[in-house]
Amino acid sequence: MARYERASFLFVDQDPCWLAALRRASRDLPGPKHFARNAEEALTLVWVHEPEVVVSGYTLPEGDGLSLLERIQVLFPQVACVLHTSRPPRQLRSARGIALVEKGAAPGRLEAVLSALCPPELSSRWASRH
């Protein structure tokens, strides 16, 4: 089986309300979805499931989501990373190769970014459902 046919996603946020919102927003994505509330749990899930896409909130109990995503990029350069944050972009240091989606963005913005990061054959199947 090709890796693309089992694309998986990891969502990280310390806030249970945001994690629930991410569950709802991602329910129609192709492939398995995994959820973590901190960086340690997220790194364990990355090693076990090797997701194609990791989405992290900025504020985490033991650090920040941007640092987590940078660490994931070093360990797994093929993983697409998205920072999902309520902080204005001007307050964040720049990070090459990490997409930014603001939590207050228009409905569907996160889904559009995730769809764009999916392999073409998966994103077209997902887009046809919406």
The pLDDT tens digits of the residues spanning 10-47 come to 999 999 999 999 998 888 888 899 999 999 999 999 99
Question: Could you tell me if 70 and 95 are in contact, meaning their C-beta atoms sit under 8 angstroms apart?
Answer: yes
3-state secondary structure of 100: strand
CATH code of residue 31: 3.40.50.2300
Domain count, the chain: 1
Question: Could you tell me if 30 and 126 are in contact, meaning their C-beta atoms sit under 8 angstroms apart?
Answer: yes
Asked whether residue 37 is assigned to any structural domain, the reply reads yes
What percent of the chain stands above pLDDT 90?
A: 51
Strands annotated E in the chain = 9-12, 33-36, 53-57, 59-60, 63-64, 80-85, 98-102
What backbone torsions phi and psi does residue 108 show, to the nearest 5 degrees? Answer: 95, -15
How much is the average pLDDT of 100-106? 87
Asked whether residue 4 is assigned to any structural domain, the reply reads no
pTM score, two decimals?
A: 0.84
Domain of residue 117: give its range: 9-123
Asked whether residue 2 is assigned to any structural domain, the reply reads no
Asked whether residue 73 is assigned to any structural domain, the reply reads yes
How much is the average pLDDT of 87-91? 70
More confident residue, 84 or 121: 84
